[in-house]
C-alpha cells in the first residue's frame, strides 16, 4: 500500500461521521473467535434496560471490540506490513463497523443513566408533593407546640 493510500484510510476511520450510514457487521472475528456481532448488539438493544447480569457481558464485549479496533488500526498504520490497499479498505470497513457497534453499546449506558435519573427525579417530585399536601391539609407530622 502506498503512503498516501494509508493516510486516506486512517483519515476515513478517524472521522466522527464515519459511522453515519455504516452497518454493524453480521459476524466478526475478535481475538480469533467468530462472534455474531449484529445479533448481539440488537439483542441487547431490544431490551428497555440492560439487566445487571448482562452488564458485565456488555462491558467485556466493548473492551474486546476496542482491542480489536486498535489491532486493525495498527495493521493499517504499520508501514512495515506489506498489505494491499484492498485489504486496508477491508480493515477500515471493519473498524467503522466496530465503531458503529461500540456507539450502539455505549448508547445503552447513557440510556440507562437517563432512566435512573428520571426515576430518581420522579421519586423526589412525589416526596415533595406528599410533603406539600400534608402541610396544606394541616397534617404535617413535625413537632407540635401546645400539644394536640
Q: What is the pLDDT of residue 91?
A: 94
- Output helix, strand, coil percentages for the chain, rounded to the nearest 5: 70, 5, 25
Euclidean distance between CA atoms 25 and 41, whole angstroms: 10
Q: What is the CA radius of gyration of the chain?
A: 25
What is the reported pTM? 0.68
Residue-wise pLDDT for 89-133, tens only, equals: 999 999 999 999 998 888 765 554 556 667 777 888 888 888 888
Greater pLDDT, 139 or 36: 36
Amino acid at each position: 500500500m502506498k503512503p498516501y493510500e494509508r493516510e486516506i484510510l486512517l483519515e476515513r476511520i478517524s472521522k466522527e461521521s464515519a459511522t453515519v450510514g455504516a452497518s454493524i457487521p453480521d459476524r466478526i472475528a475478535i481475538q480469533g473467535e467468530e462472534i455474531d456481532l449484529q445479533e448481539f448488539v440488537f439483542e441487547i438493544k431490544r431490551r428497555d434496560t440492560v439487566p445487571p447480569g448482562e452488564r458485565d457481558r456488555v462491558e467485556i464485549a466493548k473492551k474486546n471490540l476496542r482491542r480489536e479496533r486498535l489491532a486493525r488500526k495498527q495493521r493499517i498504520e504499520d508501514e512495515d506490513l506489506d498489505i494491499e490497499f484492498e485489504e486496508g479498505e477491508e480493515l477500515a470497513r471493519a473498524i467503522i463497523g466496530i465503531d458503529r457497534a461500540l456507539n450502539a453499546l455505549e448508547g445503552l449506558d447513557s440510556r440507562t443513566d437517563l432512566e435512573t435519573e428520571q426515576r430518581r427525579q420522579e421519586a423526589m417530585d412525589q416526596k415533595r408533593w406528599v410533603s406539600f399536601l400534608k402541610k396544606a391539609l394541616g397534617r404535617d407530622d413535625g413537632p407540635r407546640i401546645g400539644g394536640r
